[in-house]
Structure 1
Amino acid sequence: MALNKYMHPRNKYKNNPPDFATLAKKYPDFAQYVTYNKSETRGFINFKDPEAMRCLTCTLLKEDFGLEVEIPNDRLIPTLPLRLNYIHWIEDLLQGMGEGTKGAGDSGKVTGIDIGAGACCIYPLLGCTLNGWNFLATEVDPTSYTYAVNNVSRNSKQDNITVKHVQRDEGLLKVLDEDESYFDFCMCNPPFYANDMEAQGLLPDRGPERPLPSSISTASEAERVASGGEVGHVGRIIEESLQLQKKIGFYTSMLGKKSSLKPLKEMLKKNGIENFACTEFCQGRTMRWGIVWTFYQNCTLPTSPLQKKKSKPPIKTVVPEKYLQHLMKDAAQTGGMQNTRVQLVSSAIKQMLGELQVPFQECAPASPDLGISLTLTPTENTWIHNRKRRRQKSREGKEGQKPAEQPLMLQFDTVEQKEPMAEHPTPNMDEEKMEHDGSHVGEGGMSVKGEDGDSKKMDTSDGAANGGTSPGKRGASEVLGSEELLFKACLSISMIDTGIIMEMAWLEGKDKDGMNQLVCYLKSQFNKV
């Protein structure tokens, strides 16, 4: 039950798991699958027994929601707590929709689309029962379609839920071709796998740290396999949404693999869809992921519970006394002794950043003598192979060739002169590893700007300590306007009792390794004198 604490806060099973012993006393059909501890006060079921799982879902739907359903033996058995997480997430999304998002002629009744309702028709039945929503539910499989229609009729929900049989190649465009209605949302639990070998576990699709499934799957081929797997399935919904646009308030899907998030987010960005977000659905030892996007810019997409990152302390480095003496000696020779030790170190670090072409912006300090803070916004890793470039430049000099003049950070108008650098690969995280940094949540959308919303210039000169800037230097918002941000970090230099300390604190981005490498590079420069 390690992940239950991350269940949606309104999920009724979060702090109140089903009592199998009590249910067994009330429902004889369920009792046959329950075993007990020695005192017979606590019941257990075998989650790898499909009959027990089927009976559990039917029993919980009847006990907690007053719903009676029939699920065939060879079709997917929905786990109720996980489905509730999705429904509650949809509720949160609806709360963030602005007043101007409803389509013309909308009746005010929330209406959603369930793509692939399944035999149980679980999402429409839960959404209708809990919130009074209307649904258009589509289903490809003839057997699942028949069961879904019967389950809707069995619970007298025909006026709220319409189940439509569609062909496998029919998407939203075909389904909504002659329907002028506005839909508040669409939802989908797509087939996770691209082929039978992957579905049967014959291809590696989980990391070594990820445990084997604790429950059984009875899903049919249509429920397990789709062309391109879940990325291909959701990708087709993204493509159709480009044409449907605001006919649907927001588009959502559940995902079975964390690795599917990255290509789908890249697809959204590539197609200019800026307002999107991701979340997690947790139950027991199972985690699933959710993705949402919308063409409405006036709605706020909620963040997930796992977005709240554990604050990690900044990386601290004490500037060596030998390096300080070196700077002071140079300052004495150049007439710069009026600068404080903090200002000397700050000027040296700014010079290093300029040589590396790392854009930065200086925050106005309370006291430049005691501390200076820089916000770094690099768009490429120029420090990992810096030694190799210096050796090449030295060889060219020895051969009598005039080395090509490298543009400093003040010359960003000649970006095409920069030497392309190999990006440092970011290691993949295991799909269910719990050390989330929140990078996959709440993304998309807004370009990052300075505090006043404008592009700010930056400076490497000592005068910047007083808030001055130099022409030609790019601020963070200018950088992000044309290039993808590697990371955003705060570098500070301050005075302590034992000397000068440099701190690097992560703010956001995608390459934490790159930030750590930059710290190592700066430390190596301190130790060279």
Structure 2
Amino acid sequence: MIKKAKLHPRNQHLNGYDFERLVADLPELEAFTVFNPAGKTTIDFQDPDAVRMLNRALLKSHYNIDFWELPANYLCPPIPGRVDYIHFLADLLAENNNREIPHGKHINVLDIGTGASLVYPLIGQREYGWSFTGVDVDAGAIKSARKICQLNKLSIDIKHQTVPSNIFQGVIDPRDFFHLSMCNPPFHASKEKAKEGTQRKWRNLGKGHSQKLNFGGQNAELWYPGGEIAFIARMIEQSVDFAERCLWFTTLVSKKSNLQPISRILRSAKVADYKVVEMAQGQKTSRFVAWSFFKKRKRSSVLADARDEISS
């Protein structure tokens, strides 16, 4: 077992990877296993093929996903951190739901930039039974996500955003209502900065100069003009037009220094409430920001309506 510190208490990977279980459920993983200096089974996390195989095993063993494959060079997400985001979102809903986490298909979640991996809908549907809509601007990612849905016989709505400058327009229909939106925004400000980041990571891993990254990533997944802060600012500004169509808007924020300008933008948008939720995986700290245009009492009422719908 490989210990991972400080994951969410409900995270199935809180106590590390059980490679005996994973290999039993996906025998192909065994060819990628190695022993670390302490003599424990692990994989070479610098090997993108090993990382993909580990993800396949995790999704199969813990979330009953039989088919999961990605096209070459698309982002291969580290599963435990993605799982944490889902669980903390569940806690966010529970705050206005008598501290009870809402389960079931009547909770609707919008995943902005769902990617070829479709990882958030896969995990969120299995853990809480929520209904998901996954959106992406990349046609290849959409094709991959639909294939994962089809071969696993999953009911997940996949939408292609054909206007990259729009985040919610063309995605949220007039009759739609989402209890949550979520997003893992592009980090870098340009294609060149993304390449520099890739090369820096390889140097830090002792691999020298390389254009490849063990977790992959296409342009739309890695960079956006102006970087993360520009993307999130656009998201906040556009969320105003959909204030009544989503209970909580949320997005990951990788750079802590971006929190202060994001707070200013949120105040300018006149949101009713916003908060920053910190998450930690080992030595790494991550976070997401959440904002709502609904007052606290109204948020509780919306979730009470969802409870009534489930019970009926």
TM-score (norm 2): 0.82
| Gap change, CA 1:72 and 1:202, over 3 Å in 2 | closer
1:280 aligns with 2:275: no
Q: Does structure 1 residue 199 correspond to structure 2 residue 194? A: yes
Secondary structure at the counterpart of residue 18 of structure 1: coil
**Contact 2:25 2:60 survives alignment (8 Å):** no
Q: Distance in 1 between matches of 2:178 and 2:197?
A: 40
SS at match of 2:234: helix
Tell whether 2:11 aligns with 1:11: yes
> Residue in 1 aligned with 2:235?
237
8 A contact 1:24–1:34 mirrored in 2: no
Give matches, 1:359-378, under 5 Å: none
- The amino acid across from 1:170 in the alignment is N
1:172 alignment counterpart = 168
Shift in Å, 1:274:
4.6
Q: Deviations over 1:226-246 (max 9, x none)?
A: 122111111111111112112
Partner of 1:28: 27
1:339-354 alignment runs, 5 A limit = none
Higher percent of residues as helix? 2
Structure 1, gaps ≥5 residues long: 100-106, 302-529
The letter of the residue matching 1:174 is: G
2:161, 2:221 → 1: CA distance? 14
**Residues 1:144 and 2:146 are matched in the alignment:** no
| Alignment check: 8 A CA contact 1:21 1:42 kept | no
Q: Which residue of 1 aligns with 2:304?
A: none
Please say which structure displays the higher CA radius of gyration. Answer: 1
> Counterpart of 1:132?
129
Write the distance in 1 (CA, Å) between the matches of 2:281 and 2:204.
15
CA deviations 1:368-424 (Å, max 9, x no partner) are: xxxxxxxxxxxxxxxxxxxxxxxxxxxxxxxxxxxxxxxxxxxxxxxxxxxxxxxxx
- The reply on whether 1:223 has 2:218 as its aligned counterpart is no
Residue 60 of structure 1 deviates from its aligned partner by: 0.5
Q: Determine helix, strand or coil for the equivalent of 1:32.
A: helix
**Shift in Å at residue 218 of structure 1?**
0.6
Which position in structure 1 is the counterpart of 2:58? 60
Letter in 2 for 1:35: V
8 A Cα contact 1:114 1:135, kept in partner = yes
Deviates more, 1:232-241 or 1:273-282: 273-282
Rate the CA distance shift 1:131–1:55 in 2: closer, same or farther, 3 A. same
> Out of 158, 175, 185, which is 1:163 matched to?
158
Does 1:111 pair with 2:131? no
Q: Deviations over 1:170-211 (max 9, x none)?
A: 3202322x43121111000111111123212369x99xxxx9
- Residue 95 (structure 1) aligns with: 94
CA displacement at 1:153 relative to structure 2? 1.3
Distance change in 2, residues 1:262/1:13 (3 Å): same
Superposed CA RMSD: 3.1
Q: Percent identity?
A: 29
Change (3 A) 1:256 1:249: same
Taking CA–CA contacts closer than 8 Å with sequence separation of 6 or more, which of the two structures ends up with the larger relative contact order? Answer: 2
Gaps of 5+ in 2: 99-103, 207-212, 300-312
What letter corresponds to residue 120 of structure 1 in structure 2? S
User: What is the Cα deviation at residue 286 of structure 1?
Assistant: 3.0
Q: How many residues align?
A: 285
Aligned to 1:80: 79
8 Å contact from structure 1 (residues 98, 298) kept in 2: no
